[in-house]
């Protein structure tokens, strides 16, 4: 009995059984329904054929590694010392002219005060501490003051200490650093990387991305770096 009822409620499989005019024997979809579906599918495929590549075109930079392995000369070793930062200008993107230039602060690595080392494993410390001037709050340029040995951000009052760690204000992690090496007595600066409050090394992140504790999982590394 129950089976009978459910049979009655279900639509018959064949269009002929549903009493449709002009239905064919053994047909499950009306020709009108089939044409509508076919036209929609054809339109969908045609739109996808141009929309998907166009979307990929616009989104590709998010998924392609745009970092270039470049070492830039910033001066002879004699320019730098472990007690004061020296500002230098490097070119982070030659394609944008003046806007691609960035100021960095360079000093010699000091084995006494600079433990723990920011480099992975810590066995081979980077011989120079090279700090990015980009504030990790929202990206304004910070400035170094020698007397208090602090970096100060003009925008919202972020303050960093001599190692680039946060001393006050809204920034969420220490200043970003750069790879550095010495070739033939000249100091060369390489890729940027980010550090957390223990100076552990991370892939380059945007300002405002936390890297400590559970927070670091909310700001994942991007495929573009």
Q: Which does 104 bind (CB under 5 to 8 A by kind): ligand FES, another protein, none?
A: none
Is residue 30 close enough to count as binding another protein by CB under 8 A?
A: no
Among 96, 101, 145, 149, binds another protein (CB under 8 A): 96
Residue 158 — φ and ψ, nearest 5°? -70, 140
Which of 90, 122, 125, 124 is CA-nearest to residue 106?
90
User: Is the CB of 155 or the CB of 159 nearer to another protein?
Assistant: 155
Distance CA 176, CA 201 (A): 10
Q: Which does 89 bind (CB under 5 to 8 A by kind): another protein, ligand FES, none?
A: none
Minimum gap (Å) between residue 177 Cβ and ligand FES: 17
Residue pair 181/71 in contact (Cβ under 8 Å)? The answer is yes
Which of 202, 209, 198 is CA-nearest to residue 225?
202
Q: Which of residues 37-66 bind another protein (CB under 8 A)?
A: 59, 61-62, 64, 66
Q: What is the DSSP string of 195-218?
A: E-TT--EES---TT---SGGGGGG
Q: Which does 191 bind (CB under 5 to 8 A by kind): another protein, ligand FES, none?
A: none
Is residue 171 close enough to count as binding another protein by CB under 8 A?
A: no
Q: Which does 95 bind (CB under 5 to 8 A by kind): ligand FES, another protein, none?
A: another protein
Which runs of consecutive H residues, i.e. helices, occur in the chain? 2-9, 31-59
Which residues in this chain contact ligand FES in the complex, by CB under 6 A? 135, 137-140, 153, 155-158, 169-171
Among 20, 86, 138, 159, binds another protein (CB under 8 A): 138
Which of 194, 97, 203 is CA-nearest to residue 139?
194
Distance CA 188, CA 177 (A): 13
Query: Can you give the binding site for another protein, defined by CB under 8 A?
Result: 59, 61-62, 64, 66-67, 92-93, 95-97, 99-100, 138-140, 155, 204-209, 218-222, 224-225
């Amino acid at each position: 009995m129950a089976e009978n009822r459910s049979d009655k409620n279900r639509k018959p499989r064949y269009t002929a059984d549903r009493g449709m005019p002009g239905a064919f024997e053994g047909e499950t979809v009306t020709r009108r329904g089939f044409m509508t579906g076919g036209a929609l599918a054809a339109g969908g495929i045609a739109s996808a054929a141009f929309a998907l590549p166009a979307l990929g075109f616009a989104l590709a930079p998010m998924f392609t590694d745009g970092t270039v392995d470049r070492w830039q000369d910033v001066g002879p070793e004699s320019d730098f010392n472990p007690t004061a930062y020296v500002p230098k200008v490097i070119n982070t993107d030659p394609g944008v002219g003046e806007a691609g230039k960035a100021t960095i602060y360079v000093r010699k690595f000091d084995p006494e005060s600079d433990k723990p080392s920011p480099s992975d494993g810590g066995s081979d410390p980077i011989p120079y501490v090279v700090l990015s001037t980009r504030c990790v709050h929202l990206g304004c340029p910070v400035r170094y003051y020698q007397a208090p040995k602090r970096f100060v951000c003009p925008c919202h009052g972020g303050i960093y200490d001599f190692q680039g760690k946060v001393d006050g204000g809204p920034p969420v992690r220490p200043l970003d650093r750069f790879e550095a090496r010495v070739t033939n007595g000249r100091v060369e600066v390489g890729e940027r990387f980010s550090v957390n409050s223990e100076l552990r090394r991370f892939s380059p992140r945007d300002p405002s991305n936390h890297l400590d504790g559970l927070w670091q999982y909310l700001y994942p590394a991007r495929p573009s770096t």
